[in-house]
Amino acid sequence: MNKQLTDHVVISGARGFVGKNLKKFLAKNNIHTIPISRQNFKNSKFPSLKKASHFIHLAGVGSESVDQDSFVKVNVELTKTVISLCKKNNIKNIFYFSGLGVSKNSRSSYFISKFNAEQLIKKSGLRYTIFRPSYILGSDDYLTKNISKQILKKQILIPGSGKFLLQPISIDDVCKCITVGLHSSKFSNKIIDLVGPRKITFQKLVTKSVSSKIKIKKINLESAYKSALNDISFAYGVEDLNILVGNYVGNHKKLQNLCNFKFQKIESLNA
């Protein structure tokens, strides 16, 4: 492995699910992190980044707010700011979290914003690693919290057939991947699917995660999209549905070869 000195790593979105877990993991591996918050971006005031070797850009939004430009403003414009910060502070390496299924042919507003951010990074002149993650699962991840809320209502909704494939990866394995990548030139200038070794249908993942006492109800996909558009309390947003039913799977073998450790096989949300 080609090792580099990596004492200070900048993390945007450090308060999110991945960011919080990554900070703890890096600390255990004697890597100092410099968190960047939304407030820093808003006020254009940042801590000293002069000692940093890498910028891990996690900050982003996965759903539109009242501000209809939030995908562009956060996923694209923040990326421009991050690139500028890297160049200003002589940080030559950037890791970016995009999304599994993102491509030049993407049609969803969320995926388009992620693809545009990828293009900015690729053209920046920085050494980049773009991760395209599937669902990242842990004790406090977005999907698990969503299903837990539905469990409280004694019913879980499965949009459409429920047979669409996912390729979830554990948060521990994600943190390990990033740590390996920080010390390896093998990750430079690559787009990498951040996926686990097992493909599983959404329905199977959910049913293996809950008690048999919880009702599983399938909902017509068209009805699900209508509810997502019109009912703020509905279990899924439009982009949630787009990602769920997209059947997005990736190349785990490439990730395995780069990381060279054994990944968890996820069969339930409680894995």
Q: What is the CATH number of the domain that holds 111?
A: 3.40.50.720
Q: Give, for all 271 residues of the chain, the pLDDT tens digit.
A: 344 445 799 999 999 999 999 999 999 999 999 999 989 998 999 999 999 999 999 998 766 655 555 888 889 999 999 999 999 999 999 999 999 999 999 888 889 999 999 999 999 999 999 999 999 999 889 999 999 999 999 999 999 999 999 999 999 999 999 999 999 999 999 999 999 999 999 999 999 999 888 999 999 999 999 999 999 999 999 999 999 999 999 999 999 999 999 999 999 998 6
How far is residue 206's CA from residue 238's CA, in Å, rounded to a whole number?
19
For residue 215, what pLDDT is reported? 95
Tell me, yes or no, whether 151 lies in a domain: no
* Contact assessment for residue 23 and residue 33, using Cβ atoms and an 8 Å cutoff: yes
User: Tokens for 121?
Assistant: 């990074």
How far is residue 268's CA from residue 144's CA, in Å, rounded to a whole number?
10
Tell me, yes or no, whether 96 lies in a domain: yes
Tell me, yes or no, whether 219 lies in a domain: no
How far is residue 192's CA from residue 102's CA, in Å, rounded to a whole number?
12
How far is residue 143's CA from residue 117's CA, in Å, rounded to a whole number?
24
Tell me, yes or no, whether 89 lies in a domain: yes
For residue 63, what pLDDT is reported? 67
Tell me, yes or no, whether 60 lies in a domain: yes
Please list, in sequence order, all residues whose beta carbon lies within 8 angstroms of the beta carbon of residue 119, skipping any fewer than 6 positions away: none
Tell me, yes or no, whether 229 lies in a domain: no
* Contact assessment for residue 269 and residue 143, using Cβ atoms and an 8 Å cutoff: yes
Tell me, yes or no, whether 201 lies in a domain: no
Tell me, yes or no, whether 29 lies in a domain: yes
Q: ∠ CA 266-21-252 to the nearest 5 degrees?
A: 35
DSSP 197-234: S--EEHHHHHHTTS-TTSEEEEE-HHHHHHHHHH-TTS
Domain that holds residue 133: 8-138+168-196+249-259
What is the total count of domains within the chain? Answer: 1
Please list, in sequence order, all residues whose beta carbon lies within 8 angstroms of the beta carbon of residue 167, skipping any fewer than 6 positions away: 100, 134, 195, 196, 198, 199, 200, 248, 249, 250, 252
